[in-house]
A = this chain, B = another copy of it.
């Protein structure tokens, strides 16, 4: 027998809130070819807890600079993404940044430009739905043209409950942004216009319907409901010229009791997309190890598109008129 060096990527995680801690757990315990080197958080106790024996720090820049950290995962507050992603690019380290990539189009454009100048694909935006098995089966059927051209893609994004201070604009930038990314990925097209029709009775604009038109000639119809009460539920159905493909109910068991057969919904997105997060992170690691970024990963440009369109949709929500959607020129 001969020998071979096994390469494991050292990861630093920035942010140890719900998603940062979950990413640290995944990278430490659930993926192949990586190990957790350090976790940074402004709260040292939170960093310590998420680190699970790896280093803990309050200094995100030091973490990025640490030579043992070969790649960076950013799950800190949204406002810090721009600065930290740029720091990772400057350090020449691959970075997976939770959505949003940055909170304005200008900041996103700075990142896209910096990455382009670095000459390497270093940035992946954390739109994990692209790795969800159900979305991937739909994407495969659409790409294979099994059912003919997509005419309408229906989506429902339902959260059980939003905090009382949650506004319609936040629903767009926090939640709808996932639909914006995953639907243009599913359909391999760009949006050309949107019409937003909120539920007339609700001052909060919740729920609301968003009807997108696309360059490919299909419609994307999204119901966004932040207070759907019964649970967290994300659904998509592609209506094609020759049939439809949609998601099955996500639960793996059915229970019969008290006069009914039931399948459960999770309380939030973490259990619903647990596999998607793991597979996203595995693909990110595999890309780093193999030297080519994950084929289906959301790029810096994809992150820009999501932020840029969310801004325009927030405006369209107030005018309630059909609004043309535009994107900046890509620097590359």
Could you list which residues of chain A lie within 8 angstroms of chain B, going by C-beta atoms?
1-4, 6, 8, 28-35, 38, 53-57, 62-63, 66, 68, 133-134, 137-138, 141, 147-149, 151-152, 154, 192, 195, 197, 199-202, 207, 209, 211, 213-214, 216-219, 221, 223, 225, 227-231, 233, 239, 241-265, 267, 282, 286, 320-322
Copies of this chain in the oligomer: 4
- The answer to whether A3 touches B55 (Cβ under 8 A) is yes
- The answer to whether A2 touches B55 (Cβ under 8 A) is yes
- The answer to whether B252 touches A248 (Cβ under 8 A) is yes
- The answer to whether A55 touches B245 (Cβ under 8 A) is no
- The answer to whether A265 touches B255 (Cβ under 8 A) is no
- The answer to whether B248 touches A219 (Cβ under 8 A) is no
A216 to B66, CA, bound (A): 58
Contact of A218 with B200 at beta-carbon distance under 8 Å, contacts A1-B66, A4-B53 already known: yes
A195 to chain B, nearest CB (A): 6
Q: Can you give 7 A-B contacts (C-beta < 8 A)?
A: A1-B55, A148-B229, A192-B200, A197-B219, A209-B221, A229-B242, A320-B322
A255 to B246, CA, bound (A): 6
Q: Which residues of B contact A30 (CB under 8 A)?
A: 32, 282
- The answer to whether A239 touches B225 (Cβ under 8 A) is yes
Q: Which residues of B contact A214 (CB under 8 A)?
A: 200
A99 to chain B, nearest CB (A): 23
Q: Which residues of B contact A228 (CB under 8 A)?
A: 239, 244
A77 to chain B, nearest CB (A): 22
Among the listed B29, B147, B151, B256, which residue makes an inter-chain contact with A32, where contact means beta carbons less than 8 Å apart?
Answer: B29
- The answer to whether B262 touches A261 (Cβ under 8 A) is yes
A261 to B248, CA, bound (A): 11
A66 to B1, CA, bound (A): 9
Among the listed B53, B148, B197, B253, which residue makes an inter-chain contact with A247, where contact means beta carbons less than 8 Å apart?
Answer: B253
Q: What is the chain B residue whose CB lies nearest that of A282?
A: B30
Query: A147-B257, A197-B219, A233-B256 given. 4 additional CB < 8 A pairs?
Result: A199-B218, A223-B239, A231-B260, A246-B254
Q: Which residues of B contact A147 (CB under 8 A)?
A: 255, 257
Contact of A265 with B256 at beta-carbon distance under 8 Å, contacts A152-B209, A207-B152, A217-B199 already known: yes
A38 to B6, CA, bound (A): 12
A34 to chain B, nearest CB (A): 8
A49 to chain B, nearest CB (A): 16
Contact of A230 with B209 at beta-carbon distance under 8 Å, contacts A3-B55, A253-B247 already known: no
Q: Which residues of B contact A134 (CB under 8 A)?
A: 252-253
Q: Which residues of B contact A225 (CB under 8 A)?
A: 151-152, 239
A131 to chain B, nearest CB (A): 13
A216 to B202, CA, bound (A): 11
Among the listed B54, B207, B217, B252, which residue makes an inter-chain contact with A151, where contact means beta carbons less than 8 Å apart?
Answer: B207
Q: Which residues of B contact A245 (CB under 8 A)?
A: 253-256
